[in-house]
Structure 1
Amino acid sequence: MATLAKGLAVLGSFGEARPSMTLSEAAGATGMSRAAARRVLRTLAGLGYVAQSGRNFTLTPRILELGFAYLSTQSWLDRAEPLMKELSHAVQESCSAAILQGAEIVYVARMPAPHRIMSTTIAVGTRLPAVYTSLGRIQLGFLDEAELAACIEESRLVAHTPNAITDPERLAERIRQDHEQGFSIVDEELEKGLRSIAVPIVTRSGVNVAAINLSSHASRASTGDLTDRFLPELQAVARLISRSLP
């Protein structure tokens, strides 16, 4: 199990900020010794998940098999994607679905808007801090007090914008309020100009599985627009998706 954990740690250390790494960089990113990182990278290369060019290691397309294996087990996505596409087209804004993984969200479906919203590209597999996204906050509300406190402690509470909440107690209170009202709005906290509203996807017994949201630029939608125009349609889609869950 320790070897598997090390392999996953190395794979997880690759990303937009580190598309390729040397042996030393991989060791530093994972906290391993150079010898341990070398063994792991050689094993991953032998399995076809990483490739080596000179001193640099990069992921290979085979890594997509792991992601597709997960997505293929999520039957609710088959129901969600056409509904999300229809909703995105109707409101002319981006519609996304994400799961909660630790202190981050992972996008599992995305219908982009015809106009750019964020400065960075969001795609399936993109990770963002849960505490600064509506998709994350609405799911964090399903955690118990100890789990939520641990997640907030693990998160980097950085003032990405003047609106960002950086006080742990205020953040926990906001998450609880969002959970009680059944939706979460994040107003220009992750990036200036970005507003979004999210609702949870739950099973019939009330277990949180994921969340979906609509995102818009502040110049096109006020927070009032999010609740008045977007929320009813978003909730209707969430109910339809939730009905496909056991």
Structure 2
Amino acid sequence: MVDTAHPGDGAPRAADAGEDAADPNFMTSLARGLSVIRAFTEREPNLTIADIAKITGLPRAAARRCLLTLMQLGYAGSDGRTFFLKPKILALGYSFLSSAPLATILDPLIEQVSGAVQESCSAAVLDEDDVVYIARAATKRIMSVGLNVGSRLPAYCTSMGRVLLAAMPEADLNAYLARVPLKPFTERTITATDALKRELERVRERGFSLVDQELELGLRSIAVPIRTASGGVVASVNVSAQAARVTCPEMETQFLPRLLRAAEEARVLLVRSRGM
């Protein structure tokens, strides 16, 4: 649940919480502990105190105290030199999933889509500047980075991310574009702000996003929004496939209709479950 499969990124630096720390209600120790947890990734499951300090920006002594506290609570372990997360950490993510109607509703729907098209299907929400996976049905591993529930990817070059960005109010989108560096992951990645804005407008007009090898060469994905009864976008769902196996037109003809049906079913179920 804490996999931060975000190419090139580590945990949020605890030192970046300076403004929040001025709030008398802000718990610096909790913020530090959470930054330590998020430092662990699929690529770096074992970290030393020095590693944690570098990734989070914490003093080594503070990083050590956080790790030892996590060990005492059963959330982390150590082999004597490095530290690692233990299965109990999954309870933190499960608390969200078990209380979130979206994840509960979308999980069987994406399983159905994945089974029908025989490709990986996922659902995600926007969290800060990334998309976070809340449900996933994978038929095979098609990316170099493993994706699971809780994984994070940049919003600007992913199909689900673009669906969610396209639904943002203009002021929020402009703030996002001013804040987030558009790094190229492949030679196809859109890295110019004006070009990305044009693509997001196209997503709004078409009602879906198709991203062709912008996050990783050989990977194509297509996504649609999950809407509430009032039309607000609360999540997105996608199908991903290897570019060598499925063309872009085939993505639209084979996958898009099933995604749209799943999105409509999710909208109806959300209304029934929570009146959203």
TM-score (norm 2): 0.83
Question: Structure 1 pair 12/154, CA: closer, same or farther in 2 (3 Å)?
Answer: farther
Tell me the amino acid that sits aligned with residue 102 of structure 1.
E
- Higher strand share goes to which structure? 1
C-alpha distance in 1, partners of 2:43/2:118? Answer: 30
1:206 Cα deviation after fit: 2.4
Determine which of 32, 50, 66 is the counterpart of 1:6.
Answer: 32
Matched, 1:123 2:141: no
Matched, 1:77 2:77: no
Question: Structure 1 pair 180/3, CA: closer, same or farther in 2 (3 Å)?
Answer: farther
C-alpha distance in 1, partners of 2:79/2:211? Answer: 42
**Which position in structure 1 is the counterpart of 2:162?**
137
Tell me the amino acid that sits aligned with residue 223 of structure 1.
C
Compare 144-153 and 212-221 and name the one that shifted more: 144-153
Matched, 1:214 2:263: no
Matched, 1:99 2:91: no
1:51 Cα deviation after fit: 1.5
Counterpart contact for 1:104–1:136, Cα < 8 Å: yes
**Which position in structure 1 is the counterpart of 2:209?**
184
1:227-242 counterparts in 2 under 5 A? 227-242=252-267
Identical positions, percent: 45
C-alpha distance in 2, partners of 1:4/1:80? Answer: 31
Question: Structure 1 pair 64/238, CA: closer, same or farther in 2 (3 Å)?
Answer: same
1:157 Cα deviation after fit: 2.4
1:123 Cα deviation after fit: 1.7
What is the number of equivalent residue pairs in this alignment? 245
**Which position in structure 2 is the counterpart of 1:161?**
186
**Which position in structure 2 is the counterpart of 1:194?**
219
Counterpart contact for 1:13–1:29, Cα < 8 Å: yes
Deviations 1:52-107 (CA, angstroms, capped at 9, x unpaired): 22231111111100011111012233332222222212222111111111121111
**What are the ranges of 5 or more consecutive residues in structure 2 without an aligned counterpart?**
1-26, 271-275
Tell me the amino acid that sits aligned with residue 82 of structure 1.
P
Compare 1-10 and 39-48 and name the one that shifted more: 39-48
Tell me the amino acid that sits aligned with residue 44 of structure 1.
L
**Which position in structure 1 is the counterpart of 2:50?**
24
**What are the ranges of 5 or more consecutive residues in structure 1 without an aligned counterpart?**
none
Deviations 1:144-173 (CA, angstroms, capped at 9, x unpaired): 233223333444423222211111221133
Q: CA RMSD in A?
A: 1.7
Matched, 1:148 2:186: no
Tell me the amino acid that sits aligned with residue 175 of structure 1.
L
C-alpha distance in 2, partners of 1:184/1:170? Answer: 14
TM-score (norm 1): 0.92
